Structure 1
Amino acid sequence: MKQTQMLLLPLMLVVLSILAGKTDDPMTQESSTPPAGNTAATNPGNSNLSNRLRIGVGTHTFTATLLDNPSVTAFKARLPLTIVMKELNGNEKFVDLPTSLPISVSNPGTIQAGDLMLYGSSTLVLFYETFQTSYRYTRLGQIDNPTSLQRALGAGNVTVSFELL
């Protein structure tokens, strides 16, 4: 009996350690395996070197330039990320992130098409129209050429992917 217990204990520990590493959280799973070419994948510990972002919407791909601030650093740590963004006001797509990011809010006065911002501490917003605003946001970055962004995002909810270049 003791020999059987001695053999089963290490086997149970191995099974438990394997199960402990698994998760059902799709955002964790998405971020756990960076794509080829991602700075984090080729150079662990230096995942914040790139300030270039690839944004995928259906068959459209956009590049963006990210700012250098604590909010962006925290955002980049969550990449790659594929999310469903909701339509709001006919000028933006948004998603509530599961965790907060650091903020440094200001009123931009004018929102530009292609602005990527944070509303509050956990709402990621991608604007596809230029307009005046009285709201306060934390700037994350800007799409380099937002010419076809509105057409790509469409009128309803849309799946958008974000990854570092």
Structure 2
Amino acid sequence: MKQSMLVLFPLVILLIGFMACKTANDSNITQNKEERNVNADTSSGGGRLKISIGSKTFKAALGSNQAVAAFKARMPMTAVMSELNGNEKLFNFSSKLPTNASNPGTIHAGDLMIYGSSTLVLFYKSFPTQYSYTRLGRIEDASGLAKAVGAGNVTITFELE
């Protein structure tokens, strides 16, 4: 018993030391890698989406994954999206979509994602997150998006270009 404690204790100390040595540079590397993944997800040939909110139209680049394919199969679609947290609009599908959720670290205004397996989320503000999502795509120019979606429920039409 004492021998196993003598071996285990230095390993725990070593592990704590490695964790304590993480620098700000490490988080920049992670963030840059995350940005590359976002760009790859939305530029890999999944197509383009036209998003209409009232008289305003936004263009989005779609990623290329099973969730995007399932989402595209529902096009065109009009959804009444509910307000949540002052930064996103959501719509619950009646059936599940395939997912491959991961934590993006930062949500960007214009991100279009699936939360869980059946909740479509359109983010209109940027913020850090601890939640995991399956990325569908991103609005290319999200300026004016927050104003277009407003403060309450909003009707949004999604159609393929």
Other-structure match for 1:129: 125
Other-structure match for 1:19: none
* Structure 1 runs of 4+ with >6 Å offset: none
Aligned residue identity for 1:59 = S
Matched, 1:67 2:63: yes
The 5 Å alignment of 1:3-42 reads none
Task: Give the deviation of 1:149 after TM superposition.
Answer: 0.2
Task: Give the deviation of 1:50 after TM superposition.
Answer: 6.1
- Measured in 2, the distance between the counterparts of 1:98 and 1:63 equals 25
Other-structure match for 1:149: 145
- Measured in 1, the distance between the counterparts of 2:89 and 2:83 equals 5
Task: Give the deviation of 1:106 after TM superposition.
Answer: 0.2
Q: Could you tell me the percent identity over the aligned residues?
A: 59
Q: What is the number of equivalent residue pairs in this alignment?
A: 117
Task: Give the deviation of 1:161 after TM superposition.
Answer: 0.2
Task: Give the deviation of 1:98 after TM superposition.
Answer: 1.0
- Measured in 2, the distance between the counterparts of 1:80 and 1:115 equals 19
Aligned residue identity for 1:141 = G
Contact 2:46 2:64 in 1 (8 A): no
Name whichever structure is richer in helix by fraction: 2
Per-residue CA distance 1:33-92 (angstroms, 9 max, x = gap): xxxxxxxxxxxxxxxx86100000000000000000000000000000001000000000
TM-score normalised by structure 1 residue count: 0.70
CA RMSD of aligned residues (A): 1.0
Match of 2:77 among 68, 81, 93: 81
Other-structure match for 1:104: 100
Match of 2:113 among 109, 113, 117: 117
TM-score normalised by structure 2 residue count: 0.72
Unaligned runs of at least 5 residues, structure 1: 1-48
Contact 2:46 2:63 in 1 (8 A): no
